[in-house]
Chains A and B, each alone.
Chain A
Amino acid sequence: MTDNTACTLIKPRQYKSDVKPVWCPGCGDFGVLGSITKAFSGLQIQPENAAVISGIGCSSRMPTYLSTYGFHGVHGRALALATGLKIARPDLTVIATGGDGDGFSIGGNHFLHTCRRNPDMTYIVMDNQVYGMTKGQASPTTESYWEKSKLTPSGTGINPFQPLVIALASGANFIARCSSSDTNGTARIIMEAIRHPGFSMVQILSPCVTFRPEQREWKNMLIPAPDAMQATSDSAQAARLLLTDEGVYTGILYVGRRPVYQPKPESGITDIKELDEEFRL
């Protein structure tokens, strides 16, 4: 007997395009690509009904490697592109992807205001604490003492940005952290993020094996958040989890219930000619 349902299922690999990634062998972003395709397959989203939007950077190449609609825009503006698309086309599943530099440095203002605005879309940030595409400069999430960049040979001397704390303070309603090495766990979190109504922020620690080879050890440093604290809707508790010195927690770290931003046209559509009336003498 053929199972008709199983027969029509869209498999993860069907969400991949045939373009070969530019990423280095061992790059964490391969894992994230796998997780995104698994999440799409898990939700059985038709590839033509999803759009993956990005800016510039290694991880921002993501849309090209997927069989959905995509937009690879300019540096730092992925969230703005994605917001415009989602407001104009609420029927689509909209995902923004990118890196720590794209999202938190050049695109920092859009990050704050997208968290505030709460459009119904998912933001996947592959955080590797370095600019890979321009060959290894410090990013906003790089440690202040990291001296490997010729641009900041004595380290940046400034504290790293804490994206999830900022996301919480800016009003994000779904905050999660995961690791690119855990493809299945990350896929599950992305599925939850897509299901969540409103803006969902997923930080994926995705090692840069070329410029930050020490990040291969990340997988040993991450601690799943205690079950009782997963998906808390208590922002004070979430803040403690995010600010703790005890280690880097993974999982869904906060889920809020603010209303989704989706401006709607009025139901009764006016004949355009009626707009002339206010100008007539």
Chain B
Amino acid sequence: MKSTGLHIGEVAPGVKKVDPIIVADHVSKSFGGLTAVDVEHLEVPRGVITALIGPNGAGKTTFFNLLTGFDTPDSGTWEFEGQSLAGIPAHKVAQRGQVRTFQLTKALSLLTVLENMKLGAKDQQGENLFASIFPFLWKPKEAEIEARALELLERFKLLKLKDDFAASLSGGQRKLLEMARALMSEPTLVMLDEPMAGVNPALTESLLEHILDLKKEGMTVLFVEHDMHMVRHIADWVVVMAEGKIIAEGAPDQVMSNVAVVDAYLGSHQDTDLGVVTGRIELPEGEA
């Protein structure tokens, strides 16, 4: 079921949302002379699935890294649930309930699937250096965690593999494991970086279902994706980036028909610089 009525006022890049979970202002980052990200204003609506799309090199993953504390922007402010995240290290961002996955799956290869899962849980006494030596201090919590891990593994159809090293899983299974692991921390916002990349078509369907389930359970999802089909299928809101800027946003169907977006993707004006589309380069009258 698609959610609607998320924005306030005219739909345009940087439009205000009824109930934003993330608000970013003037976030920019450049590598060398190249501007990777330059986001004027963005609000991500709460409780729905938002897709972040754009051509290769649009700065999607860099923007992800900036929001999650994995990289520091040159300038800008951004908030999560009303609290500023500027200067907050990545692990604290995660502790606040904003958990991410990676484009190149980071399953911890030489830990078993179950250990991978347990690692995701928050507030473990046994992770304290001194408490860890005394099992009676952390065994009860460990049992709780294990129960939840098994439950999630069941749901993600990985239960049979729980004692295997994560290294032995297929690409798609690793994506599932990474998502399930992220859920162990009971996040409020799940950020998925290309959840479908490298997943075989048979698993795609089930991954989509899992993402929709997250929304049902009240979580907010922000994901980066290339596959338009999938975006149209599950996203409630779509944000389009090109050359580090947000060039369009809106409901999926509207965005897909947006001329600027189609241009950015398909290059219908193949002889036109992408900079013209994003407004970076202003051409004299009548040339574009």
Q: Please indicate whether A and B come from the same complex rather than being unrelated chains.
A: no
